[in-house]
Amino acid sequence: MLAIGIVVALMQIIQHFQYNNLQVNLFLFAEVIFYVVVLPLMGSVLLNLLIRSERERSQAEKLQDAIYRIAQAADQAESPDSFFSSIHAVIQEVMVADNFYIALIDEKNDLLSFPYSVDEGNPQFPPKKPGKGLTEYVLRAGKSVLCDEALYEGLRQRGDIELVGVHSPIWLGVPLIVEGKVIGAMVVQDYKNARAYGEREQSILEFVSSQVAMAIHRKQQEAEIIKNIQDINLLYEAGKQLSQSLDLQHIYLTFYKLISSTMKCDTLYIAGFDSQSELISAKFAFMEGKSVDVSAFPAIPLEPEGHGIQSPVIRSGKSSIINNYADALKQTKTNYLINEEGEIVEEGADQEDVSVTQSLLIVPILLNNQVTGVVQVQSCEKDAYSVENLKIAEALVSQIAVAANNAQLYQQSLNEIEARIQAESSLRNHAQRQEKMAFLGRELAATLDLETIYRTAERHVKAMIDCPNFCITLFDPQRMILTAAYFMTNGVMVDPSTLPPLKYNPQPTSSGHSKAIADKAAMIVHDLVANRKAGGGMPVGSEQELETAIYVPILVADEVIGLLDLQSCHKGAYSEEDGEWLGVVANQIGLAIQNARQLAQTRQRVAELLVMHNIDQAITSNDDPIKTYQMVLEQVATQPYVDGADILFFDPQENLLTFIAGYGFSSPVVATTRLHLGEGLAGKAALDKPSPK
């Protein structure tokens, strides 16, 4: 502007001289031109050059300082967030960057992540699959893009980009490149000023992007090294902890603690798989911070090809990542789910109430290349898991596969040892019991006294089995009743005559007594209280509440002559095996009772024959009828079941029974007895017995 003004002034001077016909001294004019025009003009240019040089030097210093500070931030940052925040602060010093974000490519998971974003239009930038936004356009092109309205519209119409988020009139993005490879992008945008960015800002962002890219790459490498070290330490710790336990539940709980320390794990579910039955059975579940009892969970069948969530993993033996569980359920038929209470529910329940799971890792448990189970690591967040998470989960699952197998083998060994110990103990007990039973048989055979038989049986049986109540009842098939013959409770004898008889019901009944008689087999009653309320027992016995009873039929020639009735205060006191050997004992008792009965019958018959013989002698050796009658009565009275006896003569003409002689009566009234035929017991007996012709 100064030069133009000077030239205009000179032109006016020349015109003035020409107008006034004045001679112009060329040398003088040239001198004037030099001092007035050229010299000021040169000064102005030199000044502009100096100012521009100073600006460029200042800008270069700022950019150099920015690069230095970015490198310094990479070294000093304690976390990725603080590092990215430092980058943003540096960028803001060299240009407007109120809206700034960094996008990074996650090749392993095929995601575009946004580790840092400050934006007034889009507060949150969650990870996503690469699409057709401006950021992806920069990543594909591998060069910076200064996008104004015109360029945006052209790219959109060609189909190169689509609107993602809130549109801004000016957008500037530069790729982050390391060793020729695009690892991400750095972006600034302005929603208000369409002229906020130009070529200058584009050059600045390009200039610092290389340093930002190298710093981010170095941070990523450091993070990867740290993560690898953490993973190695985790696997080492897992191996150490899992190898120290042979308890399955402890192994599963340790696995939960390890897996939850390295990734999100709101729910852990471990199931076993039986390839023979193709059933999946729950082994362990951890939900909402506590273990869930899976003992009541039913086994579920392996689902057909293409169905289910965990069944495809079991079939293929390959792990699976599901980062949108709701969508996965829509794409496959699943028959079984676990609700928040840890219960298995059938398909068709309201899925919003069934599970809050959004993401899950499903890893097969492999042993010798065979699938023996499956592990599900579940999260309530979408997109919670990455390929790195899956690798760690697979490494940990391989360790619990070995640890669980060792625990199962150990438990199997313990079970075998326990079974062998029990078998040896059972054999010893059987041998000891056989010896005791043989001794019992010898003692029973050595006596023919019923009371001694009962006491001997009680002593030996109590030495072999718990029975505070011991009772022997005798069965009368004619009267259909059981009568107590011997009852001992806690060492105290109970008078059997004080106990009411028990009725026998041959029909199906809740009574253990009747069923034992009907089936001719031992009957165990596990709820003795309920059985007695139903009329199935005698309400006497131990001061403690009796819980269990066993009724063993006493058989002689395959006929029930009574019951061996044992009762205990403990639940489950008797077993089927007890019923078997007690059956042998009962038969020994039955044989002894039968022998004692036969002896008693034989003695009774001998006594009766002796009485008859004595009566015959009295009749033949005595002529006095009165004395003969008295001798007959005295012989009859010798029988244990006779307390008194009399003789009545029958007068057929008067049809009367008249007292002739008597023995054992304290009242003389009996001597006046006169009965018509059919009166009283004697009259009825005479009536039933016809008189000789």
> Domain with 221 in it: what CATH number?
3.30.450.40
CA Rg value for the chain: 56
- Provide the pLDDT for residue 57: 56
280 within 8 A of 365, measured Cβ to Cβ: no
> Which range of residues forms the domain containing residue 99?
77-226
> Within this chain, do residues 377 and 331 fall inside the same structural domain, yes or no?
yes
Number of domains comprising the chain: 5
Q: Is residue 240 part of a domain?
A: no
- Provide the pLDDT for residue 485: 93
- Provide the pLDDT for residue 19: 47
> Within this chain, do residues 262 and 384 fall inside the same structural domain, yes or no?
yes
Segments in the chain below pLDDT 50: 1-2, 19, 21-24, 49-51, 348-354, 538-539, 692-693
- Which residue is it, tokens 């003409």? 653
- Provide the pLDDT for residue 693: 39
Instruction: Give 295's Cβ-side CA count (13 Å radius).
Output: 2
450 within 8 A of 485, measured Cβ to Cβ: yes
> Within this chain, do residues 631 and 682 fall inside the same structural domain, yes or no?
yes
> Within this chain, do residues 51 and 81 fall inside the same structural domain, yes or no?
no
- Provide the pLDDT for residue 351: 44
> Within this chain, do residues 51 and 98 fall inside the same structural domain, yes or no?
no
Exposed/middle/buried for residue 304 (C-beta within 10 Å: 0-12, 13-18, 19+): exposed
What is the widest separation between alpha-carbon atoms in the chain?
Answer: 220
Distance CA 160, CA 326 (A): 32
Q: Is residue 440 part of a domain?
A: no
Distance CA 32, CA 317 (A): 98
Q: Is residue 318 part of a domain?
A: yes
Q: Is residue 302 part of a domain?
A: yes
112 within 8 A of 129, measured Cβ to Cβ: yes
> Within this chain, do residues 93 and 215 fall inside the same structural domain, yes or no?
yes
Q: Is residue 437 part of a domain?
A: no
> Within this chain, do residues 270 and 141 fall inside the same structural domain, yes or no?
no
| Domain end call among 574, 602, 630 | 602
- φ/ψ of residue 548, rounded to 5: -130, 145
- Overall pTM > 0.85: no
User: Any residues with CB less than 8 A from the CB of 60 and at least 6 apart, and which?
Assistant: none
- Provide the pLDDT for residue 350: 43
> Within this chain, do residues 475 and 559 fall inside the same structural domain, yes or no?
yes
Distance CA 635, CA 647 (A): 13
> Within this chain, do residues 6 and 103 fall inside the same structural domain, yes or no?
no
> Within this chain, do residues 192 and 95 fall inside the same structural domain, yes or no?
yes
- Provide the pLDDT for residue 330: 77
- Provide the pLDDT for residue 63: 61
> Within this chain, do residues 335 and 459 fall inside the same structural domain, yes or no?
no
- Provide the pLDDT for residue 29: 53
